[in-house]
Amino acid sequence: MGLERRVAVIGAGPSGLAAARALDRAGLAFDGYEAHADVGGLWDIDNPRSTVYESAHLISSRTTTQFDELPMDSAADYPSHRELLRYFRRYADEFGLRDRFRFGTRVLGVEPAGGDDSGRSGWTVRSAPAGSVPGSGADDAVERTYSHVVIANGTLAEPNVPTLPGTFDGEALHSSAYKSADVFAGKRVLVVGGGNSGCDIAVDAVHRAASVDLSVRRGYWFVPRYLLGRPTDTLNQGRPLPARVKQAVDSRLLRLLNGDPRRFGFPEPDHRIYESHPVVNSLVLQHAGQGDLRVRPDVARCDGRTVHFADGSSGDYDLVLLATGYRLDYPFLDPRHLAWAGPGSGTAPRLFCNIVPPSGNGLFVVGMLEASGIGWQGRAEQAELVARYLAAVAAGDDGDVAARERAVRFRRRLTEPWPDLTGGYRYLGLERMSYYVNKDAYRRTVRRLADELAPAAESAA
């Protein structure tokens, strides 16, 4: 008896839900695993792994972020995390996905069955109740073998926590642990990191803290949420401009709208716009201009409550909040199965279209994706590609010669030169940017590959 065709989906956040929906639509058998009690992933603030905070909203607009097949029932252009959680629960209910997940179940390990790294023998998923202690008897792990595994546990759960040089005697916490501005009440606050979370939290802090400083290592491009009365990311949804033209036009427009960020104390950006993720926040410039917060350079060392900066200046603080981002984290899997050097390596797994290991070993990642404006629909299209490939494999195994040829042709692409997903942009060599793509180039490529995997009649339609 051969290996049962059944897929494991790890995670019930947006990417996991997209994967479950695509597999279900393709008629493929699967089991979902989610450590928390319900769907939503990080957007459920009650999820222990959630990294959202009370004031968190989308930084891309509703219409460019939502799943195409289920528009959000919200009037807000940039919905809050509470509205987003309701949306994901509605999505799960609308498509009957909730019953397909094993909630409160933590995946402990994903290993090649029988030690066969090729994946031909399938993958053993070892899981246990989320609150259990492995080896404690009744709660020992359960093992199930699957033909394929879709990893969709997100990219923003494992904090990147640098060690502050020297010794800081005050309170220090990472933005992943930040929930409410109440923590800043009456304190001298230093926020380290000028990305989207760092700027959002600094703006939160000015309303409660005794003082707020923002330490940045490099310059950023600041994009307002609205332009001409409309969400900024809805203004260029037609034929994309060439990279250099768009950079030239948009950088001039932003300088016209915002002025020179150096006026507010920020360094000059060391890159062209869109070569790193822009900061969608103009309030931080307003508060800097009003004197509500002060921009500082990189931290050089700490001494008690005093923090010394790279320019020789210093300040005294009660609380340092590290808005220093997140690391990719697949703790249940040996990194080599994803062609990856591992956490902290400064790189991402080397995956075809950010989805498939070059070995074609039966593992897939949905959601390892960053791009301006890619939205959840971009994740849904990743999932659709995976589902169509697995459907072609299944049909081929059942004797459909055309389907087998489509699956073989797709696997062959893993060994050929991979498509350029940059859209002509030269992204910075940062860990986060190692899995960054241009949304137009990426979605065009993934849709084409999915069309190639579809049966002829469906592809024509």
Q: What is the pLDDT along the chain (461 residues), one digit of tens a residue?
A: 468 999 999 999 999 999 999 999 999 999 999 999 999 999 999 999 999 999 999 999 999 999 999 999 999 999 999 999 999 999 999 999 999 999 999 999 999 999 999 999 999 999 999 977 555 544 578 999 999 999 999 999 999 999 999 999 999 999 999 999 999 999 999 999 999 999 999 999 999 999 999 999 999 999 999 999 999 999 877 778 999 999 999 999 999 999 999 999 999 999 999 999 999 999 999 999 999 999 999 999 999 999 999 999 999 999 999 999 999 999 999 999 999 999 888 899 999 999 999 999 999 999 999 998 899 999 999 999 999 999 999 999 999 999 999 999 999 999 999 999 999 999 999 888 999 999 999 999 999 999 999 986 565 45
Residue 10 and residue 33 in contact, taking contact as beta carbons nearer than 8 Å = yes
The SS3 assignment for 89 reads helix
Bridge-based pairing state of the strands 326-327 and 363-365: unpaired
The span from the CA of 130 to the CA of 107, in Å, is 8
- Which are the contacts of 83, defined by CB distance < 8 A and separation ≥ 6? 72, 74, 76
For the record, the structure tokens of 250 come out as 């948009």
Point out which residues pair with 436 in neighbouring strands: 370
Bridge-based pairing state of the strands 148-151 and 7-10: parallel
The span from the CA of 131 to the CA of 38, in Å, is 15
Q: What pLDDT is attached to residue 135?
A: 53
The span from the CA of 330 to the CA of 322, in Å, is 23
Is the pTM higher than 0.85? The answer reads yes
- What DSSP designation does 242 have? P
